[in-house]
Structure 1
């Protein structure tokens, strides 16, 4: 199989879109398939290859209200040229918005089947960043774009239902895998934990991008819980603001490689306050580390957190409920351990190879559908 990726984000940007594309590319290499990636260029420079596959840069500019997303400045004809030269069996559109819209038009022009993955709550991000009037226009654009794809995939059941309500067609669910060897309770570093909590405090952790859409400032309601320390893993444009909101928290910055799971596994419980998560990969990685997790009852976390089994879900916006659940776990070491054990067990079969095999199944379905449509037209 030959798969062409058109992605709104790629290295050196590190986010959920980039991460999933990388894992799929690695799986395609392991399983003997071929791929290429069309991505926006980046001031830090795109790699020329990844997993042995070529990376084709295209012109782009920074999107002011969301720096992680590059605004494509390339032409549809140029994307079509790249696709035609590669000759893919299927086109994978990763979080299509701008470059992805040119990718789907190019694929349609060439008669190529496509699989479009909805991964980012761009309409809600527009509201979060002060462009509320743009929300219906963004939904209109995304609906028109996705409805040109052969198959659409949402990362969670909540997001699938949301897309169907918005008029998206042919929507299925494809979750995300987790590296259960990299993220594991065995990565816990007790000395690191004790450096944060020298008096035996319970460490409350958050890991992720520090942007306004992640609502990390909501964790301020946890600041005065007796016998706790808070550790924030990650970086982003809102870091200075969040540091002001959480003056007593320990900020360790962005961690990479083996240092990331070492830091994550060394906290005692994980809280993710963002209400715009289409999946919640950080939650899944925390669960793989054996951490009980607390998150809003909205979006991807609904599929990941089973209340009273591996964590708690609170009503979005109800920060007193969030605090209540954190106090519950802080005060009950046995429950923390039981929830953490269940969290680990529930993710052990959600490996990237398994999830990538599922995605290849979706590719095959799109190819079959494309062939069927082509036969009817002929």
Structure 2
């Protein structure tokens, strides 16, 4: 990437950075209802899409996005809503996942458009909660389009169970990481002139997803060339929530995350009893607290206000141990990194305790790979500064040397 193009790309990305924070703040289920608009037309098949494949990342469908294309920013880019094949991080089974993919209009650079795969924060755990079902991508459409205008193709996975049938394993980073990798493949099967070189950026749930994508990329996708990943306030390891639930010390935001985790786990493991983790207002408003669409969304805030710490205390040591064990199996890291990883996290995070991320970074360093990090001690979950890391991404595409802070330990 030339110096001038790099400056243009960074400038465009910085302009988008503040808005992208919307995609990092979890438990914003009400966004689904708020951002839906009447469709200006019916989706049509993408003429350039290759539906002949059968492996991970191969396309099942690729359709136009009339609502998105109708926006002032969507008119500037090529866009498609895709359903593609992916893999469960738990079982290795083939899955089907939806998402959206984008490329710039105009002539590509030599080698094709470089790719950024974006991992979104929590939008909910039900099928209607997917960004690709919203004409504005749940408010993230404009910054995504800004990345495309800056010269990147963008792959935007919904994650398994969001936007397409299936159970959403929340907040399993391994499965979401595979979904992200395969979204890049799906992008390349949808539009021409897309490079196999890619970077990943994501926050919160998406931060854990891009971290996991980095770990799995080399073995899972040797056909792609991951240059680096940026994880903001990542949900790398949230097993500590179980002890906080037991002790009654969860924040109000963590209580909502805990409700979603228990519901997701119960769907994945039918022998896990929801009633071991809910009573009082939690039991009364359980479905409302997990809603992301429909009439129940209007009552979510009021239901959340009634939650008390004692409503979510595990009923027994055995119940707590079971849930903690399931979350620990998902916790990162699992293996050495495939490419450099940059992590930014917060000292006053309302969702993810600082120490959980610090410990995950130390384990990642021990496993191997180039890692850099920054702790913003006074920031909350949605207050992290993304701007400097768009330059970091551009440097990875330019093959510039990268700082490895692992010898210092976090």
User: Which structure is larger by alpha-carbon Rg, 1 or 2?
Assistant: 1
Larger RCO of the pair (alpha carbons < 8 Å, separation 6+)? 2
Q: TM-score, normalising length from structure 1?
A: 0.37
Q: TM-score, normalising length from structure 2?
A: 0.35
